[in-house]
């Protein structure tokens, strides 16, 4: 006797299993998509040539969560702007309106030398 097996919260095992596995595969696919994107960006940067161009520091910003990410925007002589992720040390040394020679490879910041 007793109650028939109705699964999790009386909804039946199949509904719970479909929801559980759907959420699981969604999370796994987001995780692997991000890994694929990061590997592709690294490979694209590695294939790009190293460029040195005169540029001015236009702005600086930080993004804080569990860690801090630093960004600096540079403007080239042709008014083109590019934002780069930089280390905390580089961020601290750069000041808005600094003018110098920016060295970068694809989307990867390499160096900035003041002129």
Cα 74–Cα 93–Cα 83 angle in degrees, nearest 5: 20
Measured CA to CA, the distance from residue 103 to residue 100 in angstroms comes to 10
The two tokens of residue 69 are 């990410």
Whole-angstrom distance, CA of residue 2 vs CA of residue 4: 7
**pLDDT score recorded for residue 14:** 82
Q: Under a CB-based contact definition with an 8 Å cutoff, are residues 54 and 101 in contact?
A: yes
Residue 32 pLDDT = 96
Which tens digit of pLDDT belongs to each residue from 63-99? 999 999 999 999 999 999 999 999 999 999 999 999 9
Summarize pLDDT for 50-66 with one digit per residue, the tens: 999 999 999 999 999 99
Compute the distance between CA of residue 28 and CA of residue 17 in angstroms, rounded to an integer: 16
Q: How confident is the model at residue 49 (pLDDT cuts 50, 70, 90)?
A: very high
Q: What DSSP designation does 49 have? A: P
Q: Which residues pair with 52 in a beta bridge?
A: 103
Q: Say whether pTM exceeds 0.75.
A: no
| pLDDT for the residue numbered 16 | 81
The mean pLDDT value of the chain amounts to 91
* Residue 89, both tokens: 């040390």
């Amino acid at each position: 006797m007793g109650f028939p097996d109705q699964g999790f919260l009386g909804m039946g095992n199949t509904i719970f299993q479909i929801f559980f596995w759907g959420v699981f595969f969604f999370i796994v696919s987001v995780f692997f998509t991000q890994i694929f994107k990061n590997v592709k960006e690294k490979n694209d940067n590695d294939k790009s040539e190293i460029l040195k161009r005169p540029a001015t520091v236009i702005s600086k910003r930080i993004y804080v969560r569990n860690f801090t990410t630093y960004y600096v925007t540079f403007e080239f002589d042709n008014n083109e702007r590019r934002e780069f992720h930089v280390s905390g040390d580089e961020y601290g040394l750069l000041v808005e309106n600094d003018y110098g020679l920016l060295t970068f490879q694809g989307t990867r910041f390499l160096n900035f030398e003041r002129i």
